[in-house]
A and B are shown apart, each in its own frame.
Chain A
Amino acid sequence: MIRIDNLSKTFRVHKKDPGLRGSVRSLFRRKWVDKQALRDVSLKVDEGEIVGLIGANGAGKTTLVKTCAGIIHPSTGSVRVLGYTPHERANAFRRQISLIMGQKQQLWWDLPAADGFLLLREIYLIPWQRYQERLDFLAKTLDVVSLMTTQLRRLSLGERMKMELIAALLHGPRVVFLDEPTIGLDLTAQRAIRKFLLDYRADNRPAMLLTSHYMEDIEALCERIVIIREGQVVYDGSLRKIEQFAQHKQLAIQLKTTIVKQAVGADLAALLPGLASGIAEIITATEDRLTIRVRQDHVTDLSAALLRELPVADLTIEAADIGTIIEGIMRAGLTP
């Protein structure tokens, strides 16, 4: 349903030195810099699939979403959504997609949501009966029935976001783009929206492309993730499989007797003779308890050395959590 081949996008932005002098100078001579937001991105999303787009701020996630929704023209490469070229913005295409942006208001600020929905009914040519059914269903599921006639700007952020979701899904889009749909929401609202999106997917099987900075969103909604770093796709695959890219594990040991308190950040090679240096460091330490970060490929060496050299009462090995692994990939790229 979404097919992206070798997509690149370069923005031309002008640079201005700070202060009045900079402003005056930029009146006469503008400095332009090219900013490459996307480089050679290829991607496919199928029906019923929710793909999580992950990346640091400015990595290019939003640009990718906007390109797929037809707002931004690609510089090179091709994007096809539902068989259409998005930036041509055929009405038939736009009637089947939806874009939800957590940071941007789509509905009309000084009107009740109900008025906005009526306008959307006309825009999307939704027959009355279907409109009523869908609106009832969506409003009930998101628990906002009593708020329909309140001016939008008098609603809380979470309530507004729910209205935005209704607005975006009223016409039953086949492709949904979600750009940080839970940003700024409290935990209850976040959870409600996640559950709602899952239900919506089960019933309607749309293709969804989701960006979020919250790992909870990603873990709850996506089986597949795409990590973008500096405009490039560095990982495209199952969320679970990302664990194999963990570079470190964490070991916790409880000691039978106390030892001299170790310094945080110290290399364990100093404490354990025979262990190579630079593979394990201490994260926290008390007289009888240590947590250690160790390189994935040296977990067994370290465990053996610990059991041999120290009075170990208990030893646990924990995998790094997915958020930490992804953070590592976003920062440094993929180095399996």
Chain B
Amino acid sequence: MSGDKFGADFRDDLRAYAAVLRQVVSLELRRAFAYRVSFWLRFLGGLFANITVAYFLWRALFAESGAKIMAGFTFEGMILYYVLVPLIGGITRNSTEGSAIASEIYSGTLTRYLVYPMPFLLYRFADVMAAVIVALLQLTIMLSAYLLIFGIPAGIQLTPSSVALGLIAALGACFLNFLMVSTVEMVAFWADNVWSLNVMLMFSGQLLGGALLPLTLFPAEVQRYLQLTPFPYLMSFPVQAVMGKLSFGQWAQSCGRMGIWILILTVLARVVWRRGQRSFSGVGI
């Protein structure tokens, strides 16, 4: 194949990928809005439950201990943390649900993506991007409403620039989470059930990522080790960034570490994908 021909093929591929990405995102958005009642009900229900539990739990804890500040948060700051967790989580962790890849493998519908001239994971990532757009919309509406009603709590530097840095972190985290979930789900090429692995990953993400408790509650030693795992970048890092709790230096350092994990997992996902296909039979012979 001559260099020119290869270049043209490559350009074709990129053009197709971009178009497909656009098309799938728009398709998924249409689907999300088509089921809008269930969609918003589920979202608001989840948010409300989360905040109610956090409110009563932390009110009791603050009252009992008499402390004004716990794990670096005032009571109001703590509540804002729990408001941000599901909102930012909508961006960073939306690929956790659904086990889409595993079920494509088990049912054999993966076959169709293997025939299309397009990487399967790109198609899946387009799904995730659509969910991110919806989550951004929800974040904007809910956070503005919350801040308008309750104001920014004392000791929290929530500014346009902290929100921007937080969102950049959240987008990176979204990609990282996508890679982690995809890699685990691709174990379905060999194992008959990846559901338990998936649940383990989800709970680890919640506990070690800071969705259940702010990571600043853990002993300093544990926090240091946690920084070496990919989990804190999924939740704690973008939420802390939005709340203005990180200096630019800290933010950049965390971004760097997250980048390294993204790199490692990209390679891993690629290897698993390549090897997995070798043992894929497309169900039935």
Q: Is the CB of B111 within 8 A of A122?
A: no
B250 within 8 A of A: no
Distance between Cα atoms of A205 and B280 in the complex (Å): 31
Q: How many A-B residue pairs have CB under 8 A?
A: 81
Q: Is the CB of B16 within 8 A of A125?
A: yes
Known: A92-B9, A106-B112. A66 touches B117 (CB 8 A): no
In angstroms, how far is the closest chain B Cβ from the Cβ of A67? Answer: 10
* Residues on the B chain within 8 Å of A119, using CB: 20, 23-24, 27
Q: Is the CB of A101 within 8 A of B285?
A: no
A62 within 8 A of B: yes
If over half of B's interface residues share one DSSP class (helix, strand or loop), that class is named, otherwise mixed; here it is: helix
Question: Taking each of B16, B20, B114, B281, which has the highest tally of chain A beta carbons within 10 Å of its own beta carbon?
Answer: B281
Please, what's the 1-or-0 string for B170-196, where 1 marks a CB less than 8 Å from any CB in chain A? 000000000000000000000000000
A51 within 8 A of B: no
Q: Is the CB of B115 within 8 A of A98?
A: yes
Residue of A nearest to B31 (CB): A110
B 155-210 contacts with A by CB, 8 A: none
Q: Is the CB of B15 within 8 A of A125?
A: yes
B52 within 8 A of A: no
Contact partner, A104, options B111, B116, B281, Cβ 8 Å: B111
A21 within 8 A of B: no
Distance between Cα atoms of A210 and B112 in the complex (Å): 18
Q: Is the CB of A104 within 8 A of B109?
A: yes
Contact partner, B285, options A11, A73, A91, A108, Cβ 8 Å: A11
Please, what's the 1-or-0 string for A216-233, where 1 marks a CB less than 8 Å from any CB in chain B? 000000000000000000
A35 within 8 A of B: yes
B77 within 8 A of A: no
Contact partner, B111, options A91, A98, A99, A115, Cβ 8 Å: A99
| B interface list, Cβ under 8 A from A | 9, 12-13, 15-16, 19-20, 22-24, 27, 30-31, 108-109, 111-112, 114-118, 277-282, 284-285
15 residue pairs from A and B, CB less than 8 Å apart: A11-B281, A63-B285, A70-B115, A71-B111, A72-B280, A73-B277, A91-B9, A95-B117, A97-B115, A99-B111, A101-B111, A115-B27, A122-B22, A123-B20, A123-B117
| A interface list, Cβ under 8 A from B | 11-12, 35, 37, 58, 60, 62-63, 66, 69-73, 89, 91-95, 97-99, 101, 104-106, 108, 110-111, 115, 118-119, 122-125
